[in-house]
Chain A
Amino acid sequence: MTSEERYPDLCDQAAPTVLVVEDEVLIRMTLAAVLRDEGFTVIEACDADEALLALAATSIDLLLTDVRMEGSMDGLDLAVQVKSTMPHLKIVVVSGHLAAVETHGVADAFVPKPYLAEKVVERVKAILNGTNLDHAV
Chain B
Amino acid sequence: MPSDLANADALPSSKTVLLVDSEIIVRTTLSEYLRSCGYRVVEAASGEEALTVLKDSELPVDVTLTEVELRGDIDGFQLAAWIRRRRPQISVILAGTPKRAAKAAGELCEEGPMMSKPYDPQLVVDHIKRLLSLR
Contacts and interface: CB of A to CB of B under 8 A. Distances in A.
B64 interface: no
B123 interface: yes
Contact of B57 (A6, A26, A54): A26
Contacts, number: 75
Nearest to B3: A37
Nearest to B59: A29
Nearest to B123: A10
B32 A53 contact: no
Nearest to B53: A25
Q: Is the interface of B mostly helix, strand, loop or mixed?
A: helix
Interface residues of B, number: 31
Interface string B110-126: 00000000010001100
A37 to B, nearest CB: 5
B130 A11 contact: no
Contact of A5 (B24, B56, B123, B131): B131
Nearest to B131: A57
Contact of A57 (B25, B43, B46): B25
B78 interface: no
Contacts of A9: 127
Interface in A86-136: 117
21 contacts: A5-B131, A5-B134, A7-B29, A7-B131, A10-B36, A11-B36, A25-B44, A25-B45, A26-B52, A26-B53, A26-B56, A26-B57, A29-B53, A30-B1, A30-B2, A37-B2, A43-B28, A44-B43, A53-B135, A57-B25, A57-B134
